[in-house]
Amino acid sequence: MWLAEKITGNRKTYGLGVIGGVRWDFTPELIAETKAIINKMEAQWREVVAAVSKDKNIMARTSGVGIADKSLCKEMGLVGPVARGGGVDIDARRDHPYAAYDQVDFDVITHPTADVWGRVVVRMLEVFESIKIIRQCFEKMPEGPIQAEITAELPAGRIGFSSIEAPRGESHHFAITGDDNRPRRWRARAPTYQNLQGIPAMIKDQRIADMQLSLGGIDPCMSCTDRMETIDIRTGAKKSWSKAELLSLSRSRKG
């Protein structure tokens, strides 16, 4: 987080990227410091991976739990490490390159077990691929301006759509331009919302303790999901809750 603050100005909510480029450039001193930290992190992470990969307790606890095979992943549109942990070879950085991803080499990590253990392995090994990408970016970083000058007005009514490979999987953004260079509509779909669609199948007929592992195995970000629906198991009735209803419920004694 200290390094992130030096690079972007913020420890957690990064503000380096702007329309047209980035706010400021890497200094030679910051590049050297970043490389040193990456080298240290890589060495420490190799020790973690070596320990976890041989830990029979972790393997026993996560193997066979939260199954999401290729068929389920494709049927429910599961993304990111959840899909790759089910043997689905998918990665937006390679399949739909953006930024400079078409100029760097990296492997898409998959695992065939389709369970929580498979997702653990995928995430562990993907760290090394991220480090590999960062090193290549330092070597190939071009000289010159860090921002493109944008002088033209953006016409209203233009439609834009982009997809990136976020840590949890594909993140999609849809926008329609409005007046005064402002967006008229903007919609985002975070990967957690999509991966939650597979949870009912993953936890079916499982023990209560395994349900928690299955949910944790998708690394959910609940604040990224802006919908809530409940199902009455006695009647089968479904209800979608609005923000106002949830707020009222949270403040009531029944909540």
φ/ψ of 67, rounded to 5, equals -65, 125
Q: What is the mean pLDDT of the chain?
A: 93
CATH number for region 2-251: 1.10.645.10
Q: Which helix (H) or strand (E) holds 250?
A: helix 243-251
Measuring CA to CA, how many Å separate 58 from each of 69, 161, 188, 199, 236? 20, 40, 35, 21, 36
Extract the tokens encoding 148: 């493109």
Rounded to two decimals, the pTM is: 0.86
pLDDT recorded at residue 255: 47
pLDDT recorded at residue 204: 93
Report which residue type is found at 142. P
In this prediction, residues 66-74 reach a mean pLDDT of 97
pLDDT band with cut points at 50, 70 and 90 for residue 171: very high
pLDDT band with cut points at 50, 70 and 90 for residue 74: very high
Contact between 225 and 243 under an 8 Å Cβ cutoff? The reply is: no
Contact between 172 and 161 under an 8 Å Cβ cutoff? The reply is: yes
C-alpha–C-alpha distance, residues 136 and 92, integer Å: 19
CA angle, 112 then 116 then 117, to 5° = 65
Of all residues in the chain, the percent with pLDDT exceeding 90 is 76
Kindly list the domain boundaries of the chain, sorted by start residue: 2-251
19: nearest Cα among 144, 104, 141, 146: 146
